[in-house]
Chain A
Amino acid sequence: MSRAWQQRIGFGGLAALTLIVILPILFVIGNIIAQGLGAISLEFIFAMPRAGMRAGGIFPAIVGTILLTLGTALFAIPFGVGGAIYLSEYARDTPFTRAIRLALINLAGIPSIVYGLFGLGLFVLFFQFDTSLLAGSLTLALMTLPVIISASEEALRAVPIEFRAVNASLGGTRWQGIRRIVLPQALPGIITGVILGLLRAAGETAPILFTVAAFYLPRLPQSPFDQTMALPYHLYIISTQVPDMPLEIQAGTALVLLTLTLSLNLTATLLRRYFRKRRQW
């Protein structure tokens, strides 16, 4: 067999494999759109649920998920980015920092239900936040931290070491170099990492199960110490716990959740593309 044919067959095989990977995704999204689009209406999005959630809207769940994501961002971004700056710019290679890195890798692999239980123990019971937006956001933030830290550290390390040297040679302190050169250059990567982390938080069910999510609460949370409904948990409930639930409402809820997360994803992609165009090194 000629080398050209080997090449063609190789490429063809790889293309087929790629297609096989993409097909289920397209099928899932297509299926949800086909079955759920009929449920989408202004009422569905902006009204409270009625009739044991079999009618009305999912407004509190949407608001709950948005608030939880914002709450997660509030806690995860300062700690995550701060930790990444420390690890990338200040920490020397000591047993201590190696232990931190090892912990981060392992934290990223912990099942989300374990975070849920941990959040229940620490935030809900020990700190007595009860099941609340605060406890849920903190739990989700914990789960998101490893993602944000590793992505941000990666982005910081990608900034050429030379810029730090130039800053030092001009009499700048390390922090001045970070604030004026390194951080702005690393920002696109950091933003992408943050959004990907939040994306995961927005779609998680297990960590909010014991820490914030309400089964049925047809009103909006009034304070950080309130419970709230949330889309992933709501979807789980109406898919498994409520008899005679119209399929359309399940698919419609899934579609709303999917739209929220995919639009976050799209934002990340657009931001990355925008910044990459402006980056020159």
Chain B
Amino acid sequence: MEKISVQHLNFFYGVKQVLTDISLPIDDRQITALIGPSGCGKSTFLRTLNRMNDTIAGARAEGQILLDGENIFAPTMEVTQLRARVGMVFQRPNPFPQSVFDNVAFGPRILNGARAQALTALVEASLRQVGLWDEVKDQLGQDALRLSLGQQQRLCLARTLAVQPEVILMDEPCSALDPLATLEIEELMRRLRERYCIVIVTHNMQQAARVSDRTGFFWLGQLVEYDATQTIFTRPRNALTEDYITGRAG
């Protein structure tokens, strides 16, 4: 089922156009990977999906992005509500310098001032979802920055999940992690796929091949090819895609 539909998206920083005529459907309960060389626009594209680029002076989008059929650029779209529906995990683990509990509780608290009892349950559920509960259940009051980097990144994921989003955007979520922690995150993504629409930007092509259902290849601000991951990695239609995934270009 189509969760997000991007239609003829152009994106500019000032006069510089960084995305040109991007159109693609993104399905619910699937993992969509976006690959491409640095500066190809894949991260910018990801950040238009929850309008995180809004804060950048001179940033401007044209075209439409429909979330469940509703244009996210429409004046009636409340951007804070959009971001609560479309959560995001960043490149570097970035827990707040607060306790583990407060980190996960942050979103629910700012969104609806969740009641204490419901909050505790929500925090536990979110931590269980990322497989962190058993590791931290006795130290919820502990400073989040004392966790390992891999744990911190899963905590950030739990913090995002606590808001109960529909879509999760991941911007190179494993680039700061060691291989084991990376595998944990990937395993987690496969499980979360059952309930969420996941879009991941990665520069690691093996990762895209391992976890995703569909892959989009970006090059110089354009979507060169978008297809089932297996097709992209075995029989790409575009020569540029083939050059990139085989390491001849990029």
Contact = CB atoms under 8 A, between A and B. Distances in A.
Interface of A: 92-93, 160, 162-163, 165-173, 176, 180-181, 185, 279-281
A176 B97 contact: no
Nearest to B95: A166
Contacts of A162: 90, 92, 94
Given A162-B92, A185-B97, A280-B97, A170 B110 contact: yes
Nearest to B86: A169
B87 A163 contact: no
Given A162-B92, A170-B83, 16 more contacts: A163-B96, A165-B52, A166-B90, A166-B96, A168-B52, A169-B88, A170-B111, A170-B159, A171-B83, A171-B163, A172-B106, A173-B80, A185-B97, A280-B145, A281-B97, A281-B145
B50 interface: yes
B161 to A, nearest CB: 11
B55 interface: yes
B84 A171 contact: yes
9 contacts: A166-B90, A168-B52, A168-B83, A169-B87, A170-B163, A171-B82, A172-B111, A173-B80, A280-B145
Interface residues of B, number: 27
Nearest to A179: B110
Contacts, number: 65
Interface in B96-112: 96-97, 106-107, 109-111
B57 A92 contact: yes
Contact of A171 (B55, B81, B145, B156): B81
A169 B51 CA distance: 9
A165 B96 CA distance: 11
Contacts of A170: 83-84, 87, 106-107, 110-111, 159-160, 163
Contacts of B145: 280-281
Of all A-B residue pairs in the complex, the 5 with the closest CB atoms, nearest first, are A171-B84, A169-B88, A170-B107, A171-B83, A280-B145
Given A162-B90, A168-B83, A181-B96, A176 B57 contact: no
B111 A169 contact: no
Contacts of A165: 52, 90
Interface in B193-235: none
Contacts of A279: 97
Interface in B125-162: 143, 145, 156, 159-160
Nearest to B83: A171
Given A180-B106, A280-B97, A280-B145, A171 B111 contact: yes
Contacts of B81: 171
A181 B98 CA distance: 9
B110 A180 contact: yes
A280 B143 CA distance: 9
A169 B80 contact: no
B97 A168 contact: no
Interface string B24-57: 0000000000000000000000000010100101
B52 A172 contact: no
Contacts of B163: 170-171
Contacts of B88: 169
Most A C-beta atoms less than 10 A away, residue of B55, B80, B96, B159: B96
A268 to B, nearest CB: 22
B52 A169 contact: yes
Contacts of B50: 169
B110 A172 contact: yes
Nearest to B102: A180
A189 to B, nearest CB: 14
Which of A92, A93, A162, A171 has the most chain B CB atoms inside 10 A of its CB? A171
Which of A168, A180, A281: most chain B CB closer than 10 A? A168
Contacts of B109: 180
A171 B107 contact: yes
